[in-house]
Structure 1
Amino acid sequence: MTYSWRYDGYSGVSFVTFELFEQGAKTLLRLTLTGIETFPLENTNFGLHNFEEGWNEIINNSLKNHLEQDNF
């Protein structure tokens, strides 16, 4: 599944792709981000490190915590 990702007021568009793979009794999630080079290079908020940090937090903490809730 691929989503386009834009920021209001800025040029550029990126694409976030989510892929799921069976790994025995578990599921592997692969997230691929492309197109960040289309965002304004002079704006340090669009630096690769910020995207990596943000997606790592979402996937490794927020999503993990959500999926581990008893009522899920």
Structure 2
Amino acid sequence: MRREIKGLKNVARDAAFRLLYLFVIGEFKSDVRDSNMAYQAVSFVVSHRGIFKYRTRKMVREAFEERFELSEKQ
């Protein structure tokens, strides 16, 4: 049984695109602190299949992995 996800999905999808753009173009001040915040955002995108399609989740995750090094906990 699938439950309906309420809220503004288009706003979330736009935010995922901005996140992807930030990973590709953005400059970060502190790689450690920014890596933790970016990981939280990426894990949100990857874990919400009802909002984000496969290609969006894959692109955001790959951009994160390209930009930051994953820690053992991540």
- Give the alignment's TM-score, normalised by structure 1: 0.29
Greater Rg, structure 1 or structure 2?
A: 1
- Give the alignment's TM-score, normalised by structure 2: 0.29
More helix by share: 2
Higher normalized contact order (CA 8 Å, seq sep 6+, divided by chain length): 2
More strand by share: 1
